[in-house]
Amino acid sequence: MIFSLVFVLAFSYGLFVGAYKIFPFDVINHTKEVIFGDKARPEHTIINKFSYDTNVKNLIRIHSEQDITNKRNDLINYVWSGHGLPESAMPQNVKENISDSRYHDLTNLQRIDKITYEMDYGVNSISYMFVPKESNNKVVVYHQGHDGDFYAGKDTIEYFLKNKYTVIAFSMPLLGMNSQPVVETQSFGPIILKSHNHLRYIESDSLKPVKFFFEPIYASLNYLEQKYGFDAYYMTGISGGAWVSMYYPAIDNRISQSYPVAGPLPLYLRSNYDTIGDYETELPDLIRIANELEIYVMDAHGENRKFIQIYNKYDPCCWSGTYFETYEQTVKDKVKELGSGIYDVNLDETNKEHTISQNTLDAISRSMNS
């Protein structure tokens, strides 16, 4: 009798915990995640009707190759404040064959070169060039997101090394090994640049901090072109790094294929979310020149060019679901109308993390080789 009463009370309390998520709900939920090695599927952001009703075709203001050229020039003028591409930019320091114990176990690794590029206000970029023992003479530019150091992408770096690619890995500005300088501003006093959102305080007519995301890549490719004779340059990135992998090929045609993973959706979809992005993704002047949909077209258009977006359907962080279906076919039609290039979207239904999965890496590899 007592046992039955205890059982009923315990069962009732369990239902109460589950319904109202009171103690020990978090403990039980965390234990579940540890045991099963996964997180529960997140609740999807509800996309409002206006997003589904958006006339996507009208948002793509590209009707010819000349329109693409004009937009590319306008992007370059915006990012570099009217000075044009920094065509002579080169890394100020390259240390070959450095030692970093975090990467000693990488398969097919011959050596690591450390590339440092210095910019305004003491902002810098420290990237690693992973040189394979056996090379296919092609480069993959890997860009980490807001998680920090590109060490978080070690599995991705190793995957491409195994497949004989040279990999050059970047962290976002102010993250990873990159500097977080204290800058003196006339209007606000001294500010430590620890967050991308702080970059808005040093923006001026003569400096657009968004260049910090692009210029290190441009300078590094200049260096690689000068020293090596690579056959092709490809690009991939995760999250915020996917945003860089999305915008950069629209500026620099040397990137012929790009594969952003779990990157931001177009603004008409992002505005449904509580947080629509970071400093770099919320620049109205940049988006006015070329919105995300136009960037997709610019990246994809051209002989032997590809732009393939990858989304994780059950991503616990952001941009989960299948909302890309509201624009996918329209972008494909536009790329086809312009005559050359490949655009597509891949949906990873196996990955329930905000990462690049093995399935996605295999899909990228197949596309690169096709």
pTM equals 0.86
* Residue located via tokens 């902002």: 123
| Bridge-based pairing state of the strands 109-118 and 93-95 | antiparallel
Per-residue pLDDT of the chain (370 residues; tens, 9 = 90+): 554 544 445 555 454 434 433 334 333 443 343 333 344 334 455 667 777 788 999 999 999 999 999 999 999 999 999 999 999 999 999 999 999 999 999 999 999 999 999 999 999 999 999 999 999 999 999 999 999 999 999 999 999 999 999 999 999 999 999 999 999 998 999 999 999 999 999 999 999 999 999 999 999 999 999 999 999 999 999 999 999 999 999 999 999 999 999 999 999 888 776 666 788 988 999 999 999 999 999 999 999 999 999 999 999 988 888 899 999 999 999 999 999 999 999 999 999 999 999 999 999 999 999 9
* Homologous superfamily of 47-368: Alpha/Beta hydrolase fold, catalytic domain (3.40.50.1820)
Domain boundaries, the chain: 1-37, 47-368
Question: Do 296 and 343 meet the contact criterion of CB atoms below 8 Å apart?
Answer: yes
Per DSSP, the residues of 190-207 read EEE--SGGGGGGG-BTTB
Q: 7 exposed, middle or buried (CB, 10 Å; 0-12, 13-18, 19+)? A: exposed
List Cα–Cα distances, 313 to 81, 146, 239, in angstroms.
Answer: 38, 20, 14
Question: Do 191 and 183 meet the contact criterion of CB atoms below 8 Å apart?
Answer: yes
- In the chain, the amino acid numbered 300 is A
Long-range contacts of 134-137, Cβ-Cβ distance < 8 Å, separation of 24 or more: 134/108, 134/164, 135/164, 135/165, 135/166, 136/163, 136/164, 136/165, 137/229, 137/230, 137/231
Query: Of all helices (H) and strands (E), which one includes residue 310?
Result: strand 306-312
* Prior bond of 24 cis (ω within 30°): yes
